[in-house]
Amino acid sequence: MFDQDRVADLVCHLLPGRAAAAVQPVEPSTNRPPSVYKVTLDDGRAIAIKTASASSSADAAGISIATEAAVLSRLGSLGCNTPPVVGFDATLGALATEWLEGPTLERKLSTDGPNAIDVELIMREFLAIEIGLDSARKRFDDARNKAARSSLVKETESTFQSVRSAARSVAEVSGRSPSAAEDAANELRRQVCEGAWTLGSRDYNASNIMLSSKGPSFIDFSAIGADWAGRRVGGYLIATGPGRKDGNFITALDQRAGLTYERLGNAVWQERPAGALLDAHFLTAVLYSIERLQNAVTTPERPDSHTLLKAWPNPDERLSRLNELVHTRLYPNPTADRLRSALG
């Protein structure tokens, strides 16, 4: 249930002189109550009202709302296709933007498949946002740059503990050498960590791209931080079918997408092999997901396992799909190809 009166009160506060004629909660994620609402105003316009998570402290809620409002305003001033801010109040933990009509990329991939997606258009918008947000990094001093990179490398190493474990188990099942697969996974980790990091959204998934009549629009910038660009764009372009018994992993990433990202990404970051790094991050994400899902199936009594299995039901079908995606090659990448070969 949701508090319609509270949302109506927020409308009056954020848009003085206006009132809510209708309030409709937007479909929430599997594990969270609704926090975004479509509000039809008394003048017929539609807006989105976003409230901070109920589990957040007042300070954290205020920071996330203020951050998102500032980022959306900045990106909008640069010409990015993000929803314009029409009002916000950090103390109330509420943000109002124009309503974007259209499906999410998650829904579009799940219902119509990858052939219905204009990957190049999405990647162009993604890179425009990357450039806009990463401009703030130029104001970092050397110490802050090094600290951010060091923290990201440590996070990546934590991820690769799961990747190495998945590589060993997949190789063992296929009759290959687990130790050789682990060595190849270590090579992949080194490749991933050689890439340059950028500032951008830390909540990148296919539900955070709206496909409106104006083109792809990225939403949800309440958490901004350092990450690898290849991991970020890869996360945006994979639908996971959360909470659906017939859901599965569907991606718009293929060789065509890899070639497109190589062309567009290298035009932005000339020192980076964009296509190969995208391929490396994609394989990393697939193996990481295999390990997470296998652990959840093995220990379903754990709270984190219960949460994951609720988000990703039908684990057998999902694991089968992930094992197929292991061999999806996005771009020529000898390092990733050695791992794929070791996996069998």
CATH class, domain 4-98, is alpha beta
CATH class, domain 105-343, is alpha beta
Domains 4-98 and 105-343 fall in the same CATH topology: no
The type of residue at 333 is: N
What's the predicted TM-score (pTM) here?
Answer: 0.93
Measured CA to CA, the distance from residue 83 to residue 74 in angstroms comes to 11
Q: What are phi and psi of 211, to 5 degrees?
A: -105, 85
Measured CA to CA, the distance from residue 91 to residue 34 in angstroms comes to 20
Measured CA to CA, the distance from residue 178 to residue 157 in angstroms comes to 19
89 Cβ contact list (under 8 Å, min separation 6): 10, 13, 14, 65
| pLDDT tens, the chain, 344 aa long | 568 889 999 999 999 999 999 999 987 654 445 589 999 999 999 999 999 876 778 788 899 999 999 999 999 999 999 999 999 999 999 999 999 999 999 999 999 999 999 999 999 999 999 999 988 888 888 999 899 999 999 999 999 999 999 999 999 999 999 999 999 999 999 999 988 889 999 999 999 999 999 999 999 999 999 999 999 999 999 999 998 888 899 999 999 999 999 999 988 876 578 999 999 999 999 999 999 999 999 999 999 999 999 999 999 999 999 999 999 999 999 999 999 999 99
Predicted confidence at residue 324, as pLDDT, reads: 96
Residue 255 in contact with residue 328, Cβ under 8 Å? no
User: Residue ranges of the domains in the chain?
Assistant: 4-98, 105-343
Residue 226 in contact with residue 149, Cβ under 8 Å? yes
Instruction: Locate the DSSP E strands across the chain.
Output: 20-25, 36-41, 46-51, 85-89, 94-98, 197-201, 209-212, 215-218, 224-228, 238-239, 250-251
- CB 313: neighbour CB atoms within 10 A? 18
* Token pair 């490749």: residue: 191
